Amino acid sequence: RVLSLELNKDRDVERIHGSGINTLDIEPVEGRYMLSGGSDGVIVLYDLENLSRKPNYTCRALCSVGRSHPDVHRFSVETVQWYPHDTGMFTSSSFDKTLKIWDTNTLQPADVFHFEGTVYSHHMSPVATKHCLIAVGTKSPKVQLCDLKSGSCSHILQGHRQEVLAVSWSPRHEYILATASADSRVKLWDVRRASGCLNTLDQHNGEKSKAASEAASTAHNGRVNGLCYTNDGLHLLTIGTDDRMRLWNSSTGENTLVNYGKVCNESRKGLKFTVSWGCNPEFAFVPYGSTIAVYTIFTGELITMLRGHYSTVNCCVLQPNFQELYSGSKDCNILAWIPGLREPVPDDLSEKSPPQQHLNPAYEDAWSSSDDEG
């Protein structure tokens, strides 16, 4: 299904945003509701389900935190995320130096965290049962951990030297956090430990000559602005402004040296990319100018470029139940990329036999009808 992703002519996402779309998230409970955040501070909530049951339909916006809302973000929303365990709550963070916790039903903030600098990224663990920490990357080199239960930012992880552009909890271990910074470094932390930092990823795997003036390990030769774990949590993908994507073994911190070629990345802020779920092989979907590049994660092959946006693509998110992809762009559009059903080439028999609807064999059921058994 992923290999046949195409821009779907039958599905639209209602156009609400009047400015670029920076971030998307689909809730993991049902996979039905999607959030988007725009560079004008607006947040929109969509229902992706086709309630009309017609082949062509528009995903409707159910509600939004618009410019006239008293609690709207004043500047660009950089990250939105659903609370991982139910759809009654979602979170958003913005260049207005706040992280807001929203009650979905009332669209009122239940809590607001304030920071000294711009907020580039935040993330809640998809698997945590013992903590409710939101990791926050800001203009400050310190990674902040905000506790949803107590409502305070108690914990700080120190080690980066410049702003933190992306943060991501491991989907495998609830206390492990990855952070990416403009200082060219990616760090892995165990938030239970006082010192915190477990590993600083080194693109050279320690083989650089010891005499090198820069002894500290760097993951990229530029700002690192994108992070994404594979769904089993065993590997971590990073993207930097050196136009490189790297794949790391997340337990050893080793650079696997998979070569993806040039991955153009001029973003001055966090880049939101994603990976497939339960495919063989697994794929990465990476915003690449006005297109989305699809790579095989473990061999580095560029499979296809998804073209359809008119301007820079800022984010993409996967609906894993149906392997559908949604992307948001500076052109104010959200596009839906749906696996196309390829029709088999008709053979000569088709003229004589009654016309049948051609289905991709993978979607045909194997049941015999009662007539055949007659």
Q: Is residue 155 part of a domain?
A: yes
Q: Is residue 345 part of a domain?
A: no
The 10s digit of each residue's pLDDT in 349-361 is 444 444 444 555 4
- Write down the residue that tokens 């990229």 correspond to: 220
pLDDT at residue 154, as a whole number: 77
Residues with Cβ within 8 Å of residue 241, at least 6 apart in sequence: 220, 222, 223, 225, 265, 266, 267
Q: Is residue 10 part of a domain?
A: yes
pLDDT at residue 208, as a whole number: 66
Question: Distance between CA atoms of 110 and 128, rounded to whole angstroms?
Answer: 21
Question: Distance between CA atoms of 255 and 100, rounded to whole angstroms?
Answer: 35
Among 285, 287, 226, 296, CA closest to 256 = 296
End-to-end CA distance of the chain: 36
The 10s digit of each residue's pLDDT in 6-17 is 998 889 999 999
Q: Is residue 241 part of a domain?
A: yes
Q: Is residue 373 part of a domain?
A: no
pLDDT at residue 374, as a whole number: 46
CA 208 to chain CA centroid, nearest Å: 32
CA 231 to chain CA centroid, nearest Å: 12
pLDDT at 343 over 90: no
Residues β-bridged to residue 313: 329
If pLDDT is split at 50, 70 and 90, which confidence band does 40 have? very high
Is 178 in contact with 187 (CB distance < 8 Å)? yes
Number of structural domains (the chain) is: 1
pLDDT at 215 over 80: no
Which CATH number belongs to the domain containing residue 140 in this structure? 2.130.10.10
Q: Is residue 347 part of a domain?
A: no
- Which amino acid, 94? S
Please state whether the predicted TM-score (pTM) of the whole model is above 0.85: yes
Q: Is residue 85 part of a domain?
A: yes
Is 43 in contact with 92 (CB distance < 8 Å)? yes
Domain of 98 in residue numbering reads as 2-208+216-339
DSSP state of 28: T
The 10s digit of each residue's pLDDT in 225-259 is 999 999 999 999 999 999 999 999 999 999 999 99
- Write down the residue that tokens 């993978």 correspond to: 362
Query: For 32-58, what is the mean pLDDT?
Result: 93
State the chain's mean pLDDT as an integer: 90
The 10s digit of each residue's pLDDT in 112-126 is 999 999 999 999 999
pLDDT at residue 14, as a whole number: 95
Query: For 36-54, what is the mean pLDDT?
Result: 93
Is 279 in contact with 306 (CB distance < 8 Å)? no
The 10s digit of each residue's pLDDT in 59-69 is 999 999 999 99
Instruction: Report helix, strand or coil for 45.
Output: strand
If pLDDT is split at 50, 70 and 90, which confidence band does 194 have? confident
Q: Is residue 159 part of a domain?
A: yes
Residues β-bridged to residue 135: 123, 145
- Give the pairing of strands 89-94 and 5-7: unpaired
CA atoms within 13 A on the CB side of 188: 26
Helix ranges, the chain (H)? 370-373
pLDDT at residue 21, as a whole number: 97
